[in-house]
Amino acid sequence: MMNKILATALFFSLLVSCGGNKSTDQNQDEPTQLSTGQLAAIGKLLVDESDCKTCHHPTNKIIGPAHKEVAEKYEFNDENIKYLAKRIIEGGSGVWGEVPMNGHPDLKQEDAEKMAIYVLSLDGEERK
């Protein structure tokens, strides 16, 4: 299952990297990147496949903060996507309390960012 998701994610990122500048139509300058909604959907799958649910519930605090609470704390922008991805990879404590989150050093930065996008989308805030 994980491999399928990664393969899909890889497929999309290949599409993105090959898809640039193909169109000569001036009016068709739609970005070939995945939309935030698509990234969040992949992020949700990655979260579901990982150990996150042991400590996080979307709307209830368990061992870690509810992911919706995290979304409410942070503005949905690139800087916070990068910051939260780093927190997911490195783990640690001190922001929500003394209980530490374990690190996820095997996660790729881009996948951790998709997870962060999913988490940040949970309060319905538009990405800036």
Which of residues 15, 97, 109, 110 is near ligand HEC by CB under 6 A? 97
Measured distance CA(115)–CA(61) in Å, rounded: 18
Measured distance CA(42)–CA(106) in Å, rounded: 17
Which of residues 42, 64, 76, 122 is near ligand HEC by CB under 6 A? 64
Using DSSP's 3-state secondary structure scheme, residue 94 falls into coil
How big is the site for ligand HEC, counted in residues (CB under 6 A)?
A: 27
Helix residue spans in the chain (DSSP H): 2-19, 36-49, 67-73, 78-90, 109-121
Which of residues 70, 81, 117, 122 is near ligand HEC by CB under 6 A? 70
Interaction of residue 52 with ligand HEC, rule CB under 6 A: yes
- Pick 20 or 37: Cβ nearer ligand HEC: 37
- Pick 94 or 124: Cβ nearer ligand HEC: 94
Which of residues 5, 41, 55, 66 is near ligand HEC by CB under 6 A? 55
Which of the residues 8 through 47 are near ligand HEC (CB under 6 A)? Answer: 47
Residues in Cβ contact with 31 at an 8 Å cutoff, skipping those fewer than 6 apart:
none
Measured distance CA(33)–CA(18) in Å, rounded: 11
